[in-house]
Each structure stands twice: as structure tokens, then as C-alpha cells.
């Protein structure tokens, strides 16, 4: 009878230990893994909170997007955190088709300007670039090219790369893959009409694409260009914040997002000379995205 009593106590003890283990562990070891079972949903929804996107400079790789260092409102901060996680996943899946940077390009960086051309800010940006003898990549919108074809011609004659920012700047995640390809193909037709050539280099408005769209982009032999450094000139109108947003996270092979139209870009005009001069003093050279990826 005494043996049975001890046996019962022992079994109760073992049951308690198992219960505690299950409670602490959560019942599933997969809770600690990167959630990639449904990749399509991950593009529309955040990746697991355990994904580390704050990468040290020595470990920068394609897919890296620097975290903005300026003060942001909570909604924008959360949005950009999700954006960075989703871009990292896209670049993992399409490492040769979705590009945010070229880390092994020693001391080279690529300035890129979206949303042009226009007749107000884009020409002044070209004047600044001409003053320093450097080239950049302009991602132009097809409808804007039709309004200002002479700005396109000037960009090409100055040695800048002109790339495709879609026909009308629709948000890719709100349209179908076929609508998106139509946007890029239509912009290329306009580029060919006014400059004699199209381009493989595209940038999605707002940066993010879906898996279905990436599949079709890859099949179409297009190259989707993101960025590793966001100047935040779409968010702030303060010159110093734009400068800080570029200079603080700078790294070799960076693709830097700026804007040459699509709003008041006065702060961009004011920040650009400081950015160029500071990077030149640090030993960086400027090139186009196309040349950055060649070297």
C-alpha cells in the first residue's frame, strides 16, 4: 500500500513537470522560427517579430534597407518596419531580380531620383550634379516624360541613367500583376519614343511588389531596383534631416532614394550639395545603378 502511495506521488510530480514545460514552451517550437510557410501572405502582412533587419554594416547584403534615424510618427515607423521586413524577404526569394544594394562595390554609391521629370526641380538637380561632375539614375514616370521630353533628353546627354518608374505611379500592391507589367511596358514605349531605347531597370512606386508580380517581372527579364538608404525627403522638409538620413547609414554599394519631383523638393535641393560634398570627402565615388551592378 505504501509503494502504491509513493508511485502515485511520483506520477503526479512527473505530470506537473510536463505541464509546466508545455506552458513555458507554448506547445510548439515553431513559434521561434521565421514564419515563411505562406510567403504570399507575408508580403501583405508582417514577418515574424523575431526577424532581425537591423544589420551591422559588416553584414550588409542585398535586401538590406537601413532603418531611418530621424524621429518618425508611430504609424510611419510601424509601416517602415514592416516594409523593411517584406523587402528583405523579397530579396531573399529573388536575389538576382530585386536589388537594394551592391555591398561589394567598394566606395561606390548610386544616387537615384524618383517621380520626375518636371520643369521645376529636376533641372536644378541636374545643374547640381553637373556642378560636381557626377551622374545618377533618374526613375522617370511615363506620363511625366510625355509632358517634359526635353528633360529626359537632357538627362541622357548629361550621362545619367534614365530608368522606368511606371506609366502613372499606381501602387503595385493594389493592382494585378498584368496591370503592373502594362504600367512598365507603357513607360518603356514612351522612353523608346523619345530617346530611342527602353530599359530593363524598373522601380516600383512605393517600392513593394507581390510574389506574383515578381514572378512576372523575372519572366519579363526586368530588374527591380529598390534602395538601401532612404533620404526621407518624401517625409521631411528639413534639410538637416535629409542629410542625416543619408550620411548616417551610408555604406559601400548603397542605392540612395531621393526625389526630383512629385511635390515640393526644395529641401532636397538644399540637402544635395551637402550630401555630395560629405561623401566625396569620405572617399566615395558616384555612379549609376547600372554601372554599380556591373562593377
Given 165, 169, 194, 259, the catalytic residue: 259
259 counts as catalytic: yes
Rounded CA-CA distance 125/75 in Å is: 31
Return the H-helix or E-strand segment holding 206: none
DSSP state of 240: H
Given 114, 115, 230, 233, the catalytic residue: 114
For the chain, strand residue ranges (E) read 98-99, 108-116, 137-140, 161-164, 201-202, 223-225, 229-230, 255-259, 285-286
Rounded CA-CA distance 206/50 in Å is: 25
Phi, psi (deg, nearest 5) at residue 54: -90, 80
**Quick one: cell of 281?**
570627402
**Quick one: cell of 193?**
519614343
Q: Which residues does residue 113 pair with via DSSP β-bridges, in sequence order? A: 138, 258
Q: Which residue has the cell 521561434?
A: 32
Q: Exposed (0-12), middle (13-18) or buried (19+): which is 225, by Cβ within 10 Å?
A: buried
169 counts as catalytic: no
Catalytic residues: 114, 259
Amino acid at each position: 500500500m505504501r509503494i502504491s502511495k509513493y508511485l502515485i506521488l511520483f506520477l503526479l510530480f512527473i505530470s506537473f513537470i510536463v505541464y509546466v514545460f508545455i506552458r513555458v514552451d507554448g506547445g510548439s517550437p515553431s513559434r521561434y522560427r521565421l514564419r515563411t510557410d505562406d510567403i504570399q501572405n507575408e508580403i501583405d502582412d508582417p514577418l515574424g517579430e523575431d526577424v532581425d533587419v537591423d544589420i551591422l554594416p559588416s553584414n550588409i547584403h542585398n535586401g538590406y534597407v537601413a532603418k531611418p534615424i530621424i524621429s518618425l510618427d508611430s504609424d510611419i515607423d510601424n509601416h517602415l518596419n514592416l516594409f523593411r521586413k517584406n523587402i528583405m524577404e523579397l530579396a531573399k526569394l529573388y536575389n538576382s531580380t530585386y536589388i537594394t544594394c551592391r555591398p561589394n562595390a567598394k566606395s561606390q554609391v548610386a544616387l537615384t531620383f524618383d517621380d520626375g521629370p518636371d520643369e521645376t526641380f529636376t533641372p536644378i538637380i541636374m545643374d547640381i550634379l553637373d556642378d560636381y561632375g557626377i551622374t545618377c539614375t533618374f526613375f522617370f514616370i511615363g506620363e511625366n516624360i510625355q509632358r517634359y521630353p526635353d528633360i529626359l533628353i537632357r538627362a541622357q546627354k548629361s550621362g545619367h541613367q534614365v530608368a522606368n518608374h511606371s506609366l502613372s505611379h499606381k501602387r503595385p500592391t493594389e493592382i494585378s500583376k498584368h496591370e503592373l507589367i502594362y504600367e512598365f511596358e507603357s513607360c518603356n514605349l514612351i522612353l523608346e519614343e523619345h530617346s530611342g531605347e527602353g530599359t530593363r531597370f524598373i522601380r516600383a512606386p512605393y517600392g513593394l511588389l507581390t510574389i506574383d508580380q515578381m514572378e512576372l517581372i523575372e519572366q519579363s527579364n526586368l530588374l527591380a531596383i529598390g534602395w538601401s538608404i532612404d533620404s526621407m525627403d518624401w517625409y521631411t522638409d528639413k534639410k538637416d534631416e535629409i542629410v542625416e538620413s543619408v550620411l548616417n547609414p551610408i555604406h559601400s554599394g548603397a542605392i540612395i532614394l531621393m526625389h526630383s519631383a512629385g511635390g515640393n523638393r526644395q529641401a532636397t535641393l538644399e540637402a544635395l550639395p551637402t550630401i555630395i560634398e560629405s561623401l566625396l570627402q569620405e572617399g566615395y565615388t558616384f555612379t549609376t545603378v547600372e554601372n554599380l551592378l556591373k562593377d
